[in-house]
Amino acid sequence: MADALQELLDLPRDVKEEKGLLHTPSEIRGQAKLWGSTHAVVEKRLEGVRSFLGRFLEHERRTVVLTGAGTSEFVGHCIEGRLRKGLGAPVNVVSSTKIATNPEDVFIEGYHTLLVSFARSGDSPESVGAVEIADQTSGTVSHLVVTCNAEGALNRWAERRAASGEGAARSGSAASRVFSLCLDERTDDKGLAMTASFTNMVVAGILLSHAFGFGGCGDAVRRAIEAGKNLLARAPDTLRTVCDAGFDRAVFLGDGALCGTAVESHLKLQELTAGKVMCAWDSFPGLRHGPEAVIDGRTLVVAYLSEDPYRRRYEEDLLAELREKGLGKALLVCGGWVDGRTKALADAVVDWDPEGTLKVGDDYSPPVAVITGQLLGLFKSISLGLKPDAPSEGGIIHRVVKGVKVYDPAHFRKTGKFKVIAER
């Protein structure tokens, strides 16, 4: 018997188009299979990646900034810890929107910054605006671009910059300071909400953290793919039932890399329901320090569980507290190898590793876990009578932002006049 997601995929094409289901369900269903393709893309470019990162790591005073707008920014929250460990350098996540307005708060004089730009289309004005503005700062900046669209403005910018220094011998040439990694074109989602684009950019970021020790990455990706397939096979009916139960708020919880999953999930549910479900996110311990106040009788609490027993103890303590206080309409837990004690605290469970054999690991779990948030957004959008491919009935939000101008800060400081460097 078909599950709730397969039922959507089996609809006739004309019905999918009418209901706004042509892209989003298939992009959710197919994303785990593409993680292997992303591994192949990075592996094929590995020599270039190592050379590029090696030059950056030669600098004694170095820092890494992960950037993007919206979901693309949240890629950074899922991988910053893994990159920090893999590169042995300070790593921070800063939105491209902040770089556009406050570049002086981001780039440090005397430091060499690696700006890693994530983008689905690469056509948002902030995507190109951020890299242009970064090059105006007093510090030296190298650029690593990860995108899903070879024809996007950001990827074209990177290719032009690299080509302009082609053949130059000096280490400071444009070619040595710009590297573009374009993923499989199938990762370029056509629906409004980023699903496959997000998880494949997260996988790419994880793989980049292993650039100098790539040997075991194939097995790690294989286990993640298996976990993703397990979740997609087990979760749809459970999550559709949760969405039909009726809630108009949701709070997503996660620790470490899974906190990034919580951040992305809160946006996914909120945008796919056109703001009819308002969402928040936090770490498990952080919820107690004020945000717990938003949980009322119509709030869904989604807990992304760590596989690490030390962290999971904190998580179980918080879940037990929520139960004791009677907070929330429903408590949904999601993770690998969810034990009986945790299940007893939950109203619904999504377990992608019930036998405890895959052991995906917390740093590698975000692409798997976030599928829960994506499915919640899909099914809740449908239950509210919206069209998931384009849920914003008033056209408030779009697949690529519109009506945005990014201004040249250096030109303004010098002349007092505004000069547009990117717009859409």
Averaged over 103-119, what is the pLDDT?
93
For residue 412, the model assigns a pLDDT of 72
pTM: 0.93
For residue 139, the model assigns a pLDDT of 72
For residue 422, the model assigns a pLDDT of 75
Other beta carbons within 10 angstroms of residue 272's beta carbon come to 31
Averaged over 261-271, what is the pLDDT?
97
User: Does residue 139 share a domain with residue 166?
Assistant: yes
In a domain, 122, yes or no: yes
d(CA 387, CA 393): 8
Averaged over 54-73, what is the pLDDT?
95
User: Does residue 196 share a domain with residue 129?
Assistant: yes
d(CA 11, CA 176): 49
Token pair, residue 329, equals: 């309409």
Higher pLDDT, 259 or 161: 259
CB 134 within 8 A of CB 144: no
Higher pLDDT, 182 or 126: 182
User: Does residue 175 share a domain with residue 52?
Assistant: yes
d(CA 166, CA 162): 6
User: Does residue 238 share a domain with residue 211?
Assistant: no
In a domain, 8, yes or no: no
In a domain, 422, yes or no: no
In a domain, 14, yes or no: no
Answer whether residue 169 shows pLDDT above 60: no
Place of tokens 């449908």: 382
How many residues would you count in the chain?
Answer: 424
User: Does residue 250 share a domain with residue 208?
Assistant: no
In a domain, 322, yes or no: yes
Answer whether residue 136 shows pLDDT above 90: no
Closest to 326 in 3D by CA, of 353, 371, 354, 296: 296
In a domain, 308, yes or no: yes
Q: What is the CATH number of the domain that holds 201?
A: 3.40.50.10490
User: Does residue 246 share a domain with residue 172?
Assistant: no
User: Does residue 201 share a domain with residue 90?
Assistant: yes
At 318, the pLDDT band (50, 70, 90 cuts) reads very high
Query: First and final CA of the chain: distance in angstroms?
Result: 46
In a domain, 249, yes or no: yes
User: Does residue 261 share a domain with residue 311?
Assistant: yes
User: Does residue 147 share a domain with residue 76?
Assistant: yes
At 172, the pLDDT band (50, 70, 90 cuts) reads very low
CB 412 within 8 A of CB 419: yes
Answer whether residue 96 shows pLDDT above 90: yes
Cα-to-chain-centroid distance, residue 136: 28
For residue 117, the model assigns a pLDDT of 97
Cα-to-chain-centroid distance, residue 338: 24
Answer whether residue 165 shows pLDDT above 90: no
For residue 397, the model assigns a pLDDT of 59
Distant-in-sequence, close-in-space partners of 149: CB < 8 Å, separation ≥ 6 = 119, 120, 121, 122, 123, 155, 182, 185, 188
For residue 392, the model assigns a pLDDT of 79
Closest to 388 in 3D by CA, of 259, 240, 286: 240
User: Does residue 277 share a domain with residue 141?
Assistant: no
At 350, the pLDDT band (50, 70, 90 cuts) reads very high
At 166, the pLDDT band (50, 70, 90 cuts) reads very low
Answer whether residue 401 shows pLDDT above 90: no
DSSP run (H or E) holding 241: helix 217-244
User: Does residue 279 share a domain with residue 188?
Assistant: no
d(CA 215, CA 192): 36
Which residues form the domain of 207? 45-215
Q: Which of 215, 243, 266 is the last residue of a domain?
A: 215
Averaged over 281-287, what is the pLDDT?
97
For residue 167, the model assigns a pLDDT of 32
User: Does residue 202 share a domain with residue 147?
Assistant: yes
Closest to 278 in 3D by CA, of 260, 261, 296, 290: 296
In a domain, 392, yes or no: no
Per the structure, how many domains does the chain have?
A: 2
Q: Note the pLDDT tens digit of each residue in 212-261.
A: 999 889 999 999 999 999 999 999 999 999 999 889 999 999 999 999 99
